Amino acid sequence: MKLTTPIIAAGCSVIAGAAFAQTPVLTVYTYDSFASEWGPGPQVEIAFEEICGCDLQFTATGDGAALLSRLRLEGSRTDADIVLGLDTNLTAAAVEAGIMTEHGLTPEGLTLPVTWDDPHFLPFDWGYFAFVHRANMEEVPSSFEALAASQTSIVIQDPRSSTPGLGLLMWVQNAYGDRAGEIWEGLADNVVTVTPGWSEAYGLFLDGEADMVLSYTTSPAYHLIAEEDDGFGAAAFDEGHYMQVEVAGIVATTDVPDLAAQFLDFMLSPAFQEIIPTTNWMYPSALEADALPDGFETLTQPSEALIFSAEDAAAVREDALSLWQNALSQ
Amino acid sequence: MAKRAQPVTALQAAGGTLALLVVLVILGPLVAVLWRAEGLSDLRPADWAAIRFTLIQAALSAVVSCLAAIPVARALARRRFWGRSTFISLLGAPFILPVIVAVMGLLAIFGRSGWINSALNGIGAGNIEIYGLFGVVLAHVFLNLPLATRLLLQGWLAIPSERIRLARSLNFRERDMRRHFEMPLLAATLPGALLVIFLICTTSFAVALILGGGPAATTVELAIYQAFRFDFDLGRAAYLGLVQVAICVAAGLLAWRFARVSQFGGGLDRPAMRWPDDSTRARVTDRAVLVAAGLFLLMPLLAVSAQGVGAITGLPLSTWEAALRSVVLALASTALAVGLALPIALLIAGHAARAGLEGVGLLSIAVSPLVVGTGLFIIVFPIADPVALSLPITGLVNALVALPFLLRALVPAAAAAEASQGRLADALGMRGTARLRHAILPRLRRPLGFGAGLAAAFSMGDLGVIALFSAPGQETLPLEMYRLFGSYRTNDAQGAAVVLMALSLGLFWLFDRGGRVNAAA
């Protein structure tokens, strides 16, 4: 009986579509946790529908990488108007595949620690990758080299299946360049294991399988604000911290380009930005620090923000991956 | 025997058509991926390393699981004790656990800060290290020992009690029992069990990577994942999908070469009898084996339950909605799987090229769910909205994945029923539905219940292809659990894991129990 519901629902939406043909639909493809009940999705939908006179619909797929391959699979027949949730390590591939069109906006009030001039994508939030540890940990390493020299155990994610895993790869590559292979060889005996995604790694860390886990400087904020637990910290590394910048852009085949542009504009307004910190647990991309919720001021502030341009990230990935694989396969 | 090969019912005749459909639904998506990729791309050296590792770990896991299952199945067959039936059901639990839950349960026991290492540290002894090939095999044995045990146990239970009575009156010693009963029954059941578990382990991905401790433990499935997700190299994904089919066919041929049909003859379907020569040594060994297996399989479940049970009352409403959706989906999948399996099993059982046909069903566990899911997406997308169809598609794929387990359980029983009752039925002129109802089906009830239970639990616990298609408001319980894990809500996720485990076990128990009503075992 349950199986008939989608068909009935599809039938209803056809009827509804005919009756309210004047209500345009904006389809936003995003990753799972953005659209989930606890993510920003539901609140964003309410806030945008108040001003757009439209129906905002989310379609969720895995993580950022899954999102991109879904779009490439659908090609020009996609229903997507907006893709939201790629990071800068993936955007070059999206542009190269011809999926995106330029947004044509000049964003103001961006609060990223780096300048932004991508013609296809606008950032909606960002964070620093960092190794998260329990606050009572003794001798927290202060660099990759110190970590490699120590007995500290870490869990990381696989760069072949996870966006944070890829971020760590880029972090080491950006900070050490030609010495990246050497750093990975040094880290090999610190790595307890490699997980397919962020959730497994974070779960292993919480269960005490490792001293630290690759996550974000903002992760302790979740424990502090949502769980009222100040028992977590993020290690500050002297090399600086690689950034993950999460972006959205307009899909080339959209049938509602004006509405899509309106959404991107809305995305950088306080109504959207204020939802981000305590739902996505990242830094909003266009909100001053004093507008962040209480607790965010306690987070680790990296000395330097590291990031590759989208083109450089795409260019170094292959080699960085084989260095990583060789060093950790010993 | 071959002269009874002709189909006896319309149901059986339908089996052929259904088998063909199954092949189409499994291989069609692979072809779709290939077509969309416009050709194969070459494999990289790392892919060949992944294929090698996949074969080694799967072969080791299958051999260890089955060898360990022999004493457990023997002990279960020979001993009667209070709570035996519940114990057998519970032992099946690891097989139906979602991967992430199984890994967490195992690590709670064997991990760096698990119970065993904590105890070892307490007495000042060294640590055991789980990460590596050892961990991969340990986890696969944990997940598959229950299935191996049940498949072998079916062999023991298929021995007619008249035979055992005869053995008793002949004063058979343990050695004689081994030669006349156990060796033939193992020859009949072991190749199939090895094959199924080998194939299950070839599509392992998260377990192998996490417990393997790093990229040296890369499996074909991970390479496919990478090809789809990060490289968008459909040609390579399709190539690797074909490698999986080749592995399945090769392994299937090998198992077929060694499989023997059991020849215990007929009986009056009386409950099993106590074995002869029941020495104290045999009794002590059996008990020790059961205690060891029980501890190994149940401790991780206990650990998972202990972590999550407190969070159950605080679970959000959406989790319960997802649970309801999953139960309905599991029941639908099971109905579909049984509807497919019964005619195919009857067809196979009366057929000379039995193993070849059963291989059809095996394809669905050997081929990557990611390839099948993506291929179905490519096929469905131009015709209909795959997101609107996500639940039916997930149900269909789950039913197909459960099919080989049902066939494995049904085919030997159907063949045995045909062998023991066929001549009598022939003599009575029983054909068609009457033959099915009176001669065959009553002997299939136990394996049918077991297989349907597996199918239901499997569909309940498997993340399946829903992750590729999902839309908000259509979450199944496993997906909901992954989302909870992915949103820092570890406690809620652990609570959802306990609910999932309880529902999977409950469904399995219900079907399995149903198949054993009125049976003494």
Local structure of A101: helix, strand or coil: strand
- Angle of CA points B151, B156, B158, to nearest 5°: 95
Rounded to whole angstroms, the Cα distance separating B521 from B519 reads: 5
Give a yes or no: residue A286 inside a domain: yes
CB contacts under 8 A, A 94-123 vs B, are: 97
Q: Give the integer Cα–Cα distance in Å for B253 and B242.
A: 16
| Angle (CA) B62 B65 B70, round 5° | 120
Same domain, A29 and A104: yes
- What is the model's pLDDT at position A43? 95
Strand partners, A154: A191, A212
* CB within 8 Å of chain A, chain B residues 465-504: 467-468, 470-472, 482-483, 485-490, 493
**Same domain, yes or no: A45 and A91:** yes
The answer to whether residue A236 is domain-embedded is yes
Counts of helices then strands in chain B (DSSP H, E) = 22, 0
Q: Which of residues 189-218 of B touch A (CB under 8 A)?
A: 205-206, 209-216
pLDDT over 70 percentage in chain B? 88
CA-to-CA distance for B252 and B355, rounded, in angstroms?
8
Nearest CA to CA, how far is B128 from chain A (Å)? 13
DSSP H helical segments within B274-316, as ranges?
A: 280-308
**C-alpha angle A225/A228/A231, rounded to 5°?**
105
The CA distance from B485 to A296, in Å, is 22
Q: Average pLDDT, stretch A179-208?
A: 92
- Nearest Cα of chain B lies from the Cα of A303 at a distance, in angstroms, of 26
Residues B430-451 have pLDDT tens digits of 666 777 777 777 778 888 888 8
Please calculate the CA angle A280-A285-A289 and round it to the nearest 5 degrees: 95
Same domain, A185 and A308: yes
Please answer whether residues B160 and B265 qualify as being in contact, where contact means their C-beta atoms are separated by less than 8 angstroms: yes
State the Cα–Cα distance between residues B169 and B432, nearest whole angstrom: 39
| Segment (H or E) for A87 | strand A82-87
Q: A184 and A204 in one domain?
A: yes
Q: Please check whether residues A286 and A309 belong to one and the same domain.
A: no
Query: Is residue A42, in this structure, part of any structural domain at all?
Result: yes
Give B446 or A272, the one with higher predicted confidence.
A272
Q: Are strands A25-30 and A55-60 parallel, antiparallel or unpaired?
A: parallel
Hey, CA dihedral for B283, B301, B148, A195, is it positive or negative? negative
Spatial distance between the Cα atoms of B199 and B248, rounded to a whole number of angstroms = 7
> Rounded to whole angstroms, what are the CA distances from B330 to B333, B343, B404, B498?
5, 21, 16, 17
| pLDDT confidence bin for A3, thresholds 50/70/90 | very low
Reduce the DSSP state of residue B452 to 3 states and report it.
helix
Same domain, A173 and A318: yes
The distance of Cα B491 from the centroid of its chain, to the nearest Å, equals: 29
Please indicate, yes or no, whether residues A205 and A308 belong to a single structural domain of this protein: yes
> What are the C-alpha distances in Å from A80 to residues A95, B178, B411?
15, 65, 47
Residue A328 is nearest to which of B214, B230, B381, comparing CB atoms? Answer: B214
Q: Which of A35, A166, A324 is facing B472, going by the closest CB pair? A: A35
Of A201, A194, A223, give the one whose Cα is nearest residue A134: A223
Kindly state the percentage of chain B with pLDDT values over 90. Answer: 16
Q: Are residues A169 and A276 in the same domain?
A: no
The confidence score (pLDDT) of residue B187 equals: 80
In contact, A123 and B188? CB cutoff 8 Å: no
A35 domain-assigned:
yes
Q: Which residue has the higher pLDDT, A179 or A32?
A: A179
User: What's the sign of the alpha-carbon dihedral B402, B70, B220, B241?
Assistant: negative
Report pLDDT for A81: 96
Give the per-residue pLDDT at B153. Answer: 85
A232 SS3 class: strand
Report which of A174, A196, A200, A176 is spatially closest to residue A186, judged by C-alpha positions: A176
Q: How many residues does chain B have?
A: 521
Written out in words, the top-level CATH class of the domain with range B2-515 is mainly alpha
A82-87 vs A25-30, strand pairing mode: parallel
Residue A204: CATH number of its domain: 3.40.190.10
Name A122's bridge partners: A248
User: Chain B within 8 Å of A60 (Cβ-Cβ)?
Assistant: yes
Place of tokens 């659990």: B481
Query: How much of chain A is helix, strand and coil, in % rounded to 5?
Result: 45, 20, 35
The length of chain A, given as a count of residues:
330
What is the C-alpha to C-alpha distance for residues B363 and B369, in angstroms, rounded to an integer? 11
**Percent of chain A scoring above 70 in pLDDT:** 93
Average pLDDT over residues B15-35: 83
Q: Give the dihedral of Cα atoms B371, B374, B376, B379; nearest 10 deg.
A: -120
Q: How far is A300 from chain B (nearest CA, A)?
A: 19
Nearest 5°: the CA angle A99, A318, A92 is 20
The per-residue pLDDT for A10 is 46
Q: What pLDDT was estimated at residue A299?
A: 93
Structure tokens at A139: 């001798």
Cα dist from B196 to B65, B211, B358, whole Å: 11, 22, 11
| Interchain CB contact of B173 with A (< 8 Å) | no
Q: At what angle do helices B490-515 and B280-308 cross, to 10 degrees?
A: 140
Alpha helices in B464-516 (DSSP H): 466-469, 477-486, 490-515
Mean pLDDT of chain B: 82
Strands A232-234 and A121-134: antiparallel
How far separated are the first and last CA of chain B, in Å rounded? 30
pLDDT in tens, A51-81: 999 999 998 888 888 889 889 888 888 889 9
B383: tokens are: 């015709």
Among A3, A39, A199, whose Cβ lies nearest the Cβ of B482?
A199
* ipTM, 2 dp: 0.83
| pLDDT confidence of residue B483 | 85
The answer to whether residue A211 is domain-embedded is: yes
* pLDDT interval class at B43 (50, 70, 90): confident
Higher pLDDT, B48 or B90: B48
- Predicted confidence band of residue B128 (pLDDT cuts 50, 70, 90): confident
CB spacing of A207 vs B487 below 8 angstroms: no
C-alpha distances (whole Å) from B400 to each of A97, B280, B403, B444 are 34, 46, 5, 20
In a domain, A1, yes or no: no
- Inter-residue contact B129 to B169 (CB < 8 Å): no
Most confident of B17-31, B277-291, B493-507: B493-507
pLDDT classification of A248: cutoffs 50, 70, 90: very high
Chain A residue closest in CA terms to B382:
A77
Domain that holds residue A221: 127-243+298-328
* Domain layout of chain B by residue ranges: 2-515
pLDDT at B113: 83
Q: Does the structure show a pLDDT above 80 at A294?
A: yes
Residue B216: which of A61, A197, A329 has the nearest Cβ? Answer: A329
Of B219, B214, B130, give the one whose Cα is nearest residue A330. B214
pTM given for the model: 0.86
Q: Do B366 and B244 touch, CB atoms closer than 8 A? A: yes
Q: Which residues of B282-305 are buried (b: 16+ CB within 10 A; e: fewer)?
A: beeebeebbeebeebbbbbbebbb
> Are residues B79 and B287 in contact, defined by beta-carbon separation less than 8 angstroms?
yes
pLDDT value of residue B89: 79
**Do residues A198 and A172 both lie within one domain?**
yes
Which tokens sit at A156?
Answer: 């990381």
B39 touches chain A (CB under 8 A): no
Tokens of B224: 């496919």
Q: How many CB atoms lie within 10 A of CB B115?
A: 15
- Give the range among A216-225, A307-316, B159-168 with minimum mean pLDDT: B159-168
Q: Where are the alpha helices (DSSP H) in A227-297?
A: 257-267, 270-273
Phi-psi region of B214 (alpha: psi -120 to 50; beta: other; left: phi over 0): left
Secondary structure of residue B288 in the 3-state scheme: helix
The count of domains in chain A is 2
Decide if A6 is inside a domain: no
> Do residues A238 and A283 share a domain?
no
Which residue of B lies nearest to A63 if distances are taken between CA atoms? B229
- Determine contact: A215 vs chain B, CB below 8 A: no
- How far is A117 from chain B, CA to nearest CA, in Å? 25
Q: How many CA atoms lie within 13 A of A77 on its CB side?
A: 11
Averaged over B354-358, what is the pLDDT? 61
**CA A36 and chain centroid, separation:** 15
Query: For the CA atoms of chain A, what is the radius of gyration?
Result: 21
Question: Do residues A176 and A252 both lie within one domain?
Answer: no
Beta bridge partners of A215: A130
pLDDT at position B353: 56
Name the residue with higher pLDDT: A91 or B520.
A91
Q: Are strands A100-101 and A241-251 parallel, antiparallel or unpaired?
A: antiparallel
If DSSP states are collapsed to H, E and C, what string results for B260-278? CCCCCCCCCCCCCCCCCCC
Residues A91 and A224 in one domain: no
Find out whether B367 and B23 touch, Cβ atoms under 8 Å.
no
Any A CB within 8 A of B391 CB = yes
pLDDT at position B496: 92
Taking CB atoms and an 8 Å limit, are A197 and B325 in contact across chains? no
